[in-house]
Structure 1
Amino acid sequence: MTGVPAAAAGGASGARRAASGAASGKVPGSAVGRTAARSAEGGTSGTGHGAGGSGAAVGEGSDSAGVEAQGEDKGARGGKLTAAAVNQASVWNIANLLTMLRLVLVPAFVALMLADGGYDPAWRALAWAAFAIAMITDIFDGHLARTYNLVTDFGKIADPIADKAIMGAALICLSALGDLPWWVTGVILGRELGITLLRFVVIRYGVIPASRGGKLKTLTQGVAVGMYVLALTGWLATLRWWVMAAAVVLTVVTGLDYVKQAIVLRRQGIAERKAALEEKEA
């Protein structure tokens, strides 16, 4: 019986010495002192600290959530700005640069074609070179845009304008100089402008695809006009007449084919819309 109180007393006195040592800093490395200090703190204010700690955690969680939301918002805005910058920069790709070159060549071609009265073989040869470069870039810019995914809104608008501008300028110059009948120029340009307007009219129902006949027409027109731009004589002059005749025939035939496709496309579109409305009402 006498050993137990002594041990208890010894234990209590040891705890007090450890606690006092921890408080005074005399035994900073003592595990007992640190344990006693933690026990005292836990016994007196464990609940209060727990509640305070949970409140602090909630507050910190709310702050961190707000910071994260602000970060995501800034990231989203930054992503939109970056995407807009990339889209803006993508206008200056190789395909669009070739289209711009073709647009610049139009006034250059007209100046060369009409230089010195429009009948000097040397100036006509330079005009032919400008026309040939424009026709070649027309082939390559579309191929590059489709192959390397360089299609842009600018290219969709500027490419057909550049095509018709160089061809129209050549035809008008040739007719003004008396080398080509005006009715040929009227048929070709009328067909091109008419089909362009027709595409816009039926675009709500779908897109009229380019046909093989249309591509052959474009090639034949380019060859024929190029031969007329050059000051050819003899059998070459006769040959260019036949090439131009073939270009006119293809122009008319493919134009009628486009009109037929537009009518069919419009009828299909109207029928599909009518069926969709009936299905909704049912």
Structure 2
Amino acid sequence: MSATVPNLLTGARLVAVPVVLWLLFAGGGEDTTMRAWALVVFVFAAATDYWDGYLARRWEVVSPFGKLADPIADKALVLFTLAAVVVVDGIPWWPLAVLAVREIGVTLGRLAVARDVVIPASQGGKLKTVLQLLALTAYLVPHPAAWIDAVAWWSLLAAVAVAVVTGADYTIRILRVVRGDGTTAHADPHTAALDDPPGRDVQS
């Protein structure tokens, strides 16, 4: 049972992604009730990112499924929700482009060296995730006040800035591994996952 609960939470986060998209697109972004439900589902999904990692570490049940699905669920929730907001609300598209390129690039780079080492997370990567979730939560508020719109936009810009800086840092660390210097990475992926809140895999 203890091994199942964290995986169920991760699975719930994956299922939440199309639900949030449907609620936003079906309501055209203007239906207050559907947008409010999109906000509720998104906040629930974001909360599972903490709880699945917390429970997996507490019960010491880091699983292959969790290591694979957890980061996929995290990135899918953020990028697809942001894409939906870009479409229905007409916010600028370039933050989405920067974040998508950064996430795909870092993920592919880490996968390329994962057989030898696990690149440990940086505090900047965790900060980026928090800023992204804050921005999207604010964007999903139905008929927000001007200050909520400001929080959403500036949080998104801050997330982009942190993403660029941490993306460059990960690139340097990955290149060091490729060149044979593994001093910046953990050799034990199980240990790396356990030591790295909030998810079971590293938050990049």
Normalising by structure 2, we get a TM-score of: 0.82
1:205-225 CA distances to partner (integer Å, 9 max, x unpaired)? 411101111101101111011
Rounded Cα–Cα distance in structure 2 between residues aligned with 1:239 and 1:161 = 26
SS in 2 for 1:145: helix
Partner residue, 2:154: 242
Partner residue, 2:94: 183
Query: 1 or 2 for the larger relative contact order (CA 8 Å, sep ≥6)?
Result: 2
Partner residue, 2:133: 222
Map 1:1-282 to 2 at 5 A: 93-231=4-142, 232-269=144-181
SS in 2 for 1:99: helix
Instruction: State whether residues 179 and 228 of structure 1, in contact with CA within 8 Å, keep that contact through their aligned partners in structure 2.
Output: no
Rounded Cα–Cα distance in structure 2 between residues aligned with 1:139 and 1:236 = 24
1:103-150 CA distances to partner (integer Å, 9 max, x unpaired)? 111111111112222212221111011111111101110121122111
Identity %: 44
Rounded Cα–Cα distance in structure 2 between residues aligned with 1:146 and 1:179 = 40
Normalising by structure 1, we get a TM-score of: 0.61
Residue 144 of structure 1 aligns with an amino acid whose one-letter code is L
Residue 42 of structure 2 aligns with an amino acid whose one-letter code is F
Rounded Cα–Cα distance in structure 2 between residues aligned with 1:239 and 1:178 = 16
CA separation of 1:178 and 1:116: change in aligned 2, threshold 3 A: closer
SS in 1 for 2:179: helix
Structure 1: gaps of 5 or more residues: 1-88, 271-282
Rounded Cα–Cα distance in structure 2 between residues aligned with 1:225 and 1:156 = 24
Instruction: State whether residues 221 and 244 of structure 1, in contact with CA within 8 Å, keep that contact through their aligned partners in structure 2.
Output: yes
Structure 2: gaps of 5 or more residues: 183-204
Rounded Cα–Cα distance in structure 2 between residues aligned with 1:244 and 1:179 = 14
- Count of aligned pairs between the two proteins: 182
Higher alpha-carbon Rg:
1
